Amino acid sequence: MAQGDRRVHGLARQILWVCLAGVSAGGWASSALSQDAKTMLVVPPSPLLPQQAGDWVRQSDAAAASPIKSDEKLDQILNEDGLKRSEQAVYRVGDAGPLVAVTARQFVDATGAHAAYNYFGRPGSVYRGVGLGEETTLNGDRYVFRSGGSVVEATGARGPKVEALLNRIQIGLPKVSGPKGLAPTLPTLLPQKGLDRDSVKYALGPISYESMGGILPGAILGFDKAAEAVMAKYAGRGSLTMLLYPTPEIAGDRLRAIEAEIRRLGRSAGTVVMRRSGNLLMITTGQWTLPEAKALVQGIHPRVEVTWNKPMPPEFHVEVRKTYSLLSSIAIFCGFGALAAVVLGLSLGAGRAAIRVLQGKPAATEPEFLRIDLSGRQLPIQAEGRGSGVKG
């Protein structure tokens, strides 16, 4: 009896040691995992603006106040254009030189950067961007230029030294490639004859569209469905608005909404001619003559190489997936139907051949034909399975 108790106690001690070992191993594993999780490093993106660019040195926050105040409307417009991050800095050469306030903004792609550049640009630009960005304007001492997917704004001074500073900043900006690095093609469809280039405005959202002089309510234009809009004025005439949509169906639906709004505006809209070509809408407004407006919109022919590099709205992706699922189901059904027909045909053919073999006949038979002989001669009729002929 005592030996049995000892065995029980010994077995209990072994089980206890095994449990303690498992708990300690589990704790060690969890601590190891936590240590691994703690050692994961996330490399932050490089700053948009350098600490020093040539002779220009970035000033401390105490030495220079913030050059741009917070603006709720501006923040909404930049969000429409796909702003990723922004950075502000003030530069100076030495201790007594002029202060140059620089703001750099990085966007998701060149399309959003182009829209933001259009918003920041002002009429009457005299600088055309020689060696400074893909698009550049200068009004007084205010530079604005776009380089890839980034837009840079600088104020405070002008001249070769300032442009050298901006050129060094441009070299350090993030680079984009592929479809994201392509500027939008919609503005290139504008007819060039009589075009006021400083009036061209490109928008990706309702707030920016209305802020840049859009004649229609931005809420009805379908910006929530990834629409693009470009507006331009023509010397001595009126305005042209073009809207690009992901699909012709969306364009047709928005055209009906725009027609209702134009009827509501009445004569205040001027001479209105609307035309849809695929997923592109063209609308004239203002002081056009009717023949001029018709000739303008009829002369616009969208090119087939127009590409779409914006993300589609969620409902568009859902419809595409539904269509793909339906077509896939139809293809699978047809494939199974064809396979079933082949199997059924082989089964019936093999069954018929097996029955003939069991009856002592050849598996395959020659087809029997009836022939009408109009010559009047009597021919023997061959009976199946017999070698002799029977006259009839």
Q: From first to last of its 392 residues, what are the pLDDT tens digits of the chain?
A: 444 444 545 555 555 555 555 545 455 445 544 455 555 565 677 888 999 888 899 988 645 545 455 678 899 999 999 999 999 999 998 887 889 999 999 999 999 999 999 898 765 555 555 678 888 888 888 899 999 999 999 999 888 899 999 999 999 999 888 888 888 989 999 998 889 888 899 999 999 999 988 889 999 999 999 999 999 999 888 999 999 999 999 999 999 999 999 999 888 888 999 999 989 999 999 989 999 999 999 988 876 454 555 565 666 566 778 888 889 999 999 999 999 999 998 888 888 878 878 887 777 765 555 666 676 666 666 555 544 444 44
Distance CA 70, CA 49 (A): 19
- Within 10 angstroms of residue 131's Cβ, the number of other Cβ atoms is 8
Supply 261's token pair.
């709004």
Using a CB cutoff of 8 Å and minimum separation of 24, what contacts does 12-21 make? none
**Of 226, 266, 227, whose CA–CA distance to 243 is shortest?**
227
pTM, entire model: 0.65
Distance CA 78, CA 84 (A): 9
